[in-house]
Structure 1
Amino acid sequence: MQKKKTLRFVDVFAGCGGLSLGLSQAGCRGLFAVEKSPLAFATLKHNLVDNGKFKFDWPGWLPKKAMTCEELLANFSDEIGKLAGQVDLMVGGPPCQGFSTAGKRDPADPRNKMTEQYLSLVGLLNPQFIVIENVSGFDMEFENEVGLDALMDGAKEGSYAAYISQRLTAQGYKVTYGVVNCAEFGVPQNRYRLIMLCELPKNGKLSTVPNLFARLKSKAFGFRKSKALPTDSYVTASDAISDLEISGLELISCSDSDVAGFKEAPYDADIIFTSYQKIMRRGSLKNPPDSRRLPNHKAETIEYFKKVQSVCTPGTSLSVSQRREVGTKKHSTSVLGRNSPSPTITTLPDDIIHYAEPRILTVRENARLQSFPDWFSFKGKYTTGGKLRKFECPRYTQVGNAVPPLLAEAIGQLLIRRFNSVAKSRKRRAGSVKNKVKRLLENIKD
């Protein structure tokens, strides 16, 4: 029996590696990744390039360092072009700030231009599959139609998703997309993301390509079942992080803080309360995970958090009247619901308050809510602020920007099945043609 070919991928705008990790866990093989942030790239490199069982097959001509997609195209376009036919899948989510509903939706935002670089790479690599993940606002119309038309060069639809779909369709791809809640795939978080799944038919016939997005949605229940996760409900916040609570514990000095004076809770490797925690702890070899640094809250901050916990409806942001009651103008503050998935994890540490303890979450707790396993280490400083916030990608930001690995794993499983199915069909057709030629030659001899 012929051994199945491994699906090989490249990850663009890779962040700290959430998408690459999930694909690798599914059985795909990474070739290289592109990420401009040195801090985020250091995390990806440590976990998926230099260490562990998911090492990338990094090409010798490409430096293992942070770089932009623009730099990659400018310096290595010839080498990339030679990879055409060797890369089966290209993945990545262009930076979402330009089209996030949480910010100013500016069609002229230069970050949106990175989508063009992504499409240029598609043209060079010509992969069989493409996966793009982005915020749900990726498929919403901009108000500034004039600016959008200029940027899109005549695109008829008013969203970036429609624009990219048109561009990829013109290149021969069957494009399907829609919005999923990551909680459907076992992630303990109500995180809505647009997923675009594209396939370039080997026979050139779009009619033979299934709706990959519809297939992904249909696999959600079975994926949770395969992981022994709840199928009649979603994984909750307490399912994810109850083993990391600190109440009643004697705190110890933080083992990996870039600043002295911080504490962390001791980590008991034998405590596993839920099936989700079992998945998260698998492969950690009883070594305590990093990124468990607790905040040094002032007494008045703790009292403020207690007040927020007393008035806020768990899982939702403070209402206008509730913000007035607790004395804050911050719009995005919410409290975890113990028995429900977390709200969307963001890049700001103080957006979410613990369900039982008057504090913000640790990086590791956020990572758990994003479905990063405990063995996955985060590199660099914990936080940043002021003007540096636009340029640096500390641990909280890395986690908040990431694609949840469990969702990525489900996507990887889907594409591997399709990849093998297409390869099997091509082999069967090739065999059929060979037999026809053989019979024709035999008839000629006769």
Structure 2
Amino acid sequence: MRFIDVFAGCGGLSLGLLKAGCRGVAAIEKNPMAFETLRHNLIDGKRYRFEWPDWLPKEAMSCEQFISDYKTQISELAGTVDLMVGGPPCQGFSTAGRRNPADPRNKMAEQYLELVKIVRPNYIVIENVSGFNSKFNEEKKTSAADEKYIKKSYAEYISEELTRLGYKVSRGKINCASFGVPQNRHRYLIICSKQELKENLFEELIKSAVQFRQSKGLNPDHPVTVHDAIADLETDSKQRIPSTDSPAKGFWEIEYKAPDILSPYLKIMRDGFSGIPNSLRLPNHKVETIVQFIKFRQASEPGKSLSKKSRDALGLKKHAITVLARNFPSPTITTLPDDIIHYSEPRILTARETARIQSFPDWFEFTGKYTTGGKARKLDCPRYTQIGNAVPPLLSEAIGQMLLARKKEEQTYLEQAAAAKS
């Protein structure tokens, strides 16, 4: 199954599909920092490599630029691409932010539709935040062009457009924890097929969750916890060494040694890797910040966002902050590292810990700076942002396996039908 990944980010969706046995044709990502991580691991990587076309530069570009500069070459791909996937930027839909129908990032989904019209893939998968299926507030409409997003959700709009293009559309919300991700990350999926299938592909994916976890050696009756995911990265009793995987000086990281006995989830994360994962840099908190984190733990219920009453009492202006519950999945990993506090240590998580909770294996290396601030936030995509924006690879691997099984069944049916006619 050959696929194109649009709005690919650092490669979470692509990684899962490649692990499932799909073949990558191209990946389009606008941000140079995110694209560099993708290129490093999956385009010029040691474990997986896209079958990259000679005519396409290995560089960051927007979906709009991809279509305008290479429309002739893209048209030649029509009929050779089985699957097109993508997670259009979701800030305009997110209920955690300011939901704005005029947010220009919303319109990127329409570029995705334009690419569908050219490539005409057999299958389509669109992933977004759960707010993707919520209608915008009438008061936030800024122009007549926003009318269609007020009267219906963006998911409804895109689904109707795909139906007009001849696709059978299935959609709904999923929790990534159902597929072994140690995180209650609720997302909205649109899964489409050009074939007239009796089965609803979204429901097929939901039904596959238990079997998928079992195939990965995970307990189907219990979710993977944050302790399962990051216990070996705790700092207690571990030697600290200077961190050298970024230009910033004065940071430390643990001297990592993999446990002799790996838990089922850690086996997936180590993935046969015998080396030391990157992005282990520990935060360099001030003493007053550590004291504040200790107060957060005392004032909160682990696993639940600090209440408004507690935030007010602590003089905290931040909208949401959660101390992890050791024996439960994490809440949604975001692009802001200070949204979550470690379950047993007064600090934020390392980039590698957030990557573990997102189900990125240890061999996958994140590149670029760790964080950014000020005006650069609108332009940069540092490691924490790359990880927080990603589709968990375990979820995309489950999607890939489901679609590969579906394609195999379709091929068998067509062969049998052809044999019956002859």
Correspondence for 2:362: 374
Distance (Å, rounded) in 2 between the aligned partners of 1:87 and 1:266: 44
CA contact (8 A) 1:138 1:159 kept: yes
Distance (Å, rounded) in 2 between the aligned partners of 1:331 and 1:155: 26
Of 289, 292, 299, the residue aligned with 1:304 is 292
Alpha-carbon shift at residue 13 of structure 1 (Å): 0.1
Instruction: Determine whether 1:356 maps to 2:352.
Output: no
Q: Which amino acid aligns with 1:309?
A: R
- Correspondence 1:252-267 to 2 at 5 A: 252-267=241-256
TM-score when normalising by structure 1: 0.92
Alpha-carbon shift at residue 249 of structure 1 (Å): 1.9
Alpha-carbon shift at residue 188 of structure 1 (Å): 0.1
CA contact (8 A) 2:101 2:140 kept: no
Correspondence for 2:70: 76
Distance (Å, rounded) in 2 between the aligned partners of 1:282 and 1:332: 33
Alpha-carbon shift at residue 209 of structure 1 (Å): 4.0
Alpha-carbon shift at residue 270 of structure 1 (Å): 3.8
CA contact (8 A) 1:39 1:394 kept: yes
Distance (Å, rounded) in 1 between the aligned partners of 2:408 and 2:147: 38
Distance (Å, rounded) in 2 between the aligned partners of 1:329 and 1:263: 29
Correspondence for 2:169: 175
- Correspondence 1:18-417 to 2 at 5 A: 18-144=12-138, 147=141, 150-151=144-145, 158-201=152-195, 206=196, 208-284=197-273, 286-417=274-405
Alpha-carbon shift at residue 427 of structure 1 (Å): 1.9
CA contact (8 A) 2:130 2:187 kept: yes
Distance (Å, rounded) in 1 between the aligned partners of 2:259 and 2:230: 14
Instruction: Determine whether 1:426 maps to 2:414.
Output: yes
- Cα deviation per residue 1:341-360 (whole Å; 9 max; x = unaligned)? 00100001111000000000
Distance (Å, rounded) in 2 between the aligned partners of 1:148 and 1:160: 16
Report runs of 4+ in structure 1 exceeding 3 Å deviation. Answer: 145-157, 270-273
CA contact (8 A) 2:279 2:352 kept: yes
5+ residue gaps, structure 1, are: 1-6, 436-446
Change over 3 Å in CA distance of 1:172–1:338 after alignment to 2: same
Secondary structure of 2:24's partner? strand
% identity of equivalent residues:
58
- Cα deviation per residue 1:4-28 (whole Å; 9 max; x = unaligned)? xxx0000000000000000111110
Distance (Å, rounded) in 2 between the aligned partners of 1:155 and 1:340: 36
Alpha-carbon shift at residue 160 of structure 1 (Å): 0.4
Alpha-carbon shift at residue 326 of structure 1 (Å): 2.5
Distance (Å, rounded) in 2 between the aligned partners of 1:305 and 1:152: 42
Q: Which amino acid aligns with 1:400?
A: G
CA contact (8 A) 1:145 1:158 kept: no
Q: Which amino acid aligns with 2:32?
A: P
Secondary structure of 2:137's partner? coil
Q: Say which is worse superposed, 423-432 or 174-183, in terms of deviation.
A: 423-432
Q: Say which is worse superposed, 40-49 or 423-432, in terms of deviation.
A: 423-432
Alpha-carbon shift at residue 145 of structure 1 (Å): 7.7
Alpha-carbon shift at residue 310 of structure 1 (Å): 1.4
Q: Which amino acid aligns with 2:368?
A: G
Secondary structure of 1:120's partner? helix
Secondary structure of 2:291's partner? helix
- Cα deviation per residue 1:348-390 (whole Å; 9 max; x = unaligned)? 1111000000000000000000000000000111110000001
Distance (Å, rounded) in 2 between the aligned partners of 1:429 and 1:381: 55
CA contact (8 A) 2:305 2:321 kept: yes
Secondary structure of 1:172's partner? coil
Backbone CA RMSD of aligned residues: 1.6
Secondary structure of 2:298's partner? helix
Secondary structure of 2:128's partner? strand
Change over 3 Å in CA distance of 1:341–1:154 after alignment to 2: closer
CA contact (8 A) 1:174 1:209 kept: no
- Cα deviation per residue 1:274-308 (whole Å; 9 max; x = unaligned)? 21011101232x21000000011111111111111
Distance (Å, rounded) in 2 between the aligned partners of 1:272 and 1:152: 55
Distance (Å, rounded) in 2 between the aligned partners of 1:395 and 1:372: 13
Secondary structure of 1:82's partner? helix
Alpha-carbon shift at residue 189 of structure 1 (Å): 0.2
TM-score when normalising by structure 2: 0.97
Secondary structure of 2:317's partner? coil
5+ residue gaps, structure 2, are: none
Q: State the structure with more CA Rg.
A: 1
Distance (Å, rounded) in 1 between the aligned partners of 2:143 and 2:419: 49
Q: Say which is worse superposed, 387-396 or 102-111, in terms of deviation.
A: 102-111
Q: Which amino acid aligns with 1:377?
A: E
Q: Which amino acid aligns with 1:299?
A: V
Distance (Å, rounded) in 2 between the aligned partners of 1:150 and 1:133: 27
Q: Which amino acid aligns with 1:144?
A: E
How many residue pairs match? The answer is 422
Secondary structure of 2:169's partner? strand
Q: Which amino acid aligns with 2:416?
A: R
Change over 3 Å in CA distance of 1:335–1:61 after alignment to 2: same
